[in-house]
Amino acid sequence: MGKIRVTKEFRFETAHTLLNYDGPCRNIHGHSYKLFVTIIGEPVDDISNSKYGMVIDFSDLKSMVNREVVDRFDHTVVVSSKVEGEKLRAIDKMFGNVLVVDYQPTCENMVEDIAGRVIPHLPEGVTLHSVKLYETTTSYAEWFAGDNI
């Protein structure tokens, strides 16, 4: 049997601010993100295995991505660790649910972060093929494993 790609869609609400950006996105604002996680592998070929015929159980993929990504980003304000300490403390005090990251929280950097959060938790024989993150209905960033070898 050959390799099969399996994709699961997720949605979450996140706010962010872009440090030193020269447009309105320098202000804290939110997006309704849509995330597609695609894994690749061979379906289980053991009839005695409860996952027979599956590359991954969709419920297992859903649980893992929710735990490692959605639960961490949903209803948070994502802020770069490079934001001045006083401003960062003010954001934390005002919003409470703040995720401080070591990068500028653009869609491009977030999609790479998400890939890094998913990869270590995939079962043996399954690899991450791609991650697509929609920031708006018409704008998205993609991460492909083949581009990152």
Does residue 112 have an active-site annotation? no
Does residue 16 have an active-site annotation? no
CATH node for 4-148: 3.30.479.10
Residue pair 51/57 in contact (Cβ under 8 Å)? The answer is yes
Catalytic member of 9, 13, 25, 29: 25
Nearest partner of 7 among 53, 65, 69, judged by Cα = 65
End-to-end CA distance of the chain: 25
Separation CA 12–CA 69 (nearest Å): 9
Separation CA 50–CA 25 (nearest Å): 48
Does residue 68 have an active-site annotation? no
pTM given for the model: 0.94
Catalytic member of 9, 13, 29, 75: 75
Catalytic member of 16, 107, 129, 135: 135
Separation CA 49–CA 30 (nearest Å): 43
Q: Residue ranges per domain, the chain?
A: 4-148
- The 10s digit of each residue's pLDDT in 70-120 is 999 999 999 999 998 888 888 888 888 999 999 999 999 999 999 999 999
Q: Percentage of the chain surpassing pLDDT 90?
A: 87
